[in-house]
Amino acid sequence: MRTHPKPATAGWFTAVALVLTACNSRETQALLQPPQALGVVLAEEAARAAGANKRVALIAPDAHWGPASTVEETFRNAMQKRGISVVIVKSADLGDPMRSRPRLKSVDFLEALGKATNAGAVVSIVGAPELAPQDVARLGSGHPPALVVATMTLGAVPGVAGDRIQLANLLEAGVIQLAIVDGAEPAPPIAGKLDATHGVFAQHYRMLRSQDAKLQGPVSLLPTGCTG
């Protein structure tokens, strides 16, 4: 005769399975580093922005900044899995971080946008530039969607953290469509379970979009630190 486990025994097996699942999830998150999660989520956003176009332009640090960062390598691998090619359109000279605050020069950003007219999106992992109002006006909306990573670190190499007001200016003007910055992501309106990658991302980063800038109201289009 076929026997059935007693209710207590069945409950024990269920409890063990739940514990093992939770342990595996915690171990996965422990192994996944924040810059790796950032690279994967950045690839998702870039692929979404590019649409049917299978080419994404990248603004990355030049050789003086060190080897390719964890964020860049993870981003490239994730894009390759999606069948999207990543082409560096500008290796930016960010300056000497020991002497001054690293920054993406406006001329380099504008040059990159000019070279990326056939790309589906432009991704900068070296922050956003400080653009004068006339540069913003001249750009218009004819360039591909631009996504910016403005974080303190890209893994083993430093990043270029952006000023929130500066980023809000660029989002509001439509120069960039997305900025990823340091800081925990606010809880979503509808609670849902995140996978390991998005869980790690949400613990360390947040995404700013154009609608976030609009909620803040009008801000000056002058570069940070300028007055009058």
Counting Cα atoms < 13 Å in the Cβ hemisphere of 176 gives 32
pTM for the full predicted model? 0.78
Task: Sort 115 into a burial class: Cβ within 10 Å, 0-12 / 13-18 / 19+.
Answer: middle
> For the stretch 16-41, what's the b/e string if a residue is b when 16 or more beta carbons lie within 10 angstroms of its beta carbon?
eeeeeeeeeeeeebeebebbbbbbbb
* Second CATH level (architecture) for the domain 34-215: 3-Layer(aba) Sandwich (3.40)
| Tens digit of each residue's pLDDT, the chain (228 residues) | 445 445 444 444 343 333 334 444 444 444 579 999 999 999 999 999 999 999 999 999 998 888 899 999 999 999 999 999 999 999 998 877 667 688 899 999 999 999 998 999 999 999 999 888 888 877 766 789 999 999 999 998 899 998 888 899 899 988 999 999 999 776 655 456 778 999 999 999 999 997 665 545 444 433 444 333
Q: Whole-angstrom Cα distance, residue 59 to residue 210?
A: 21
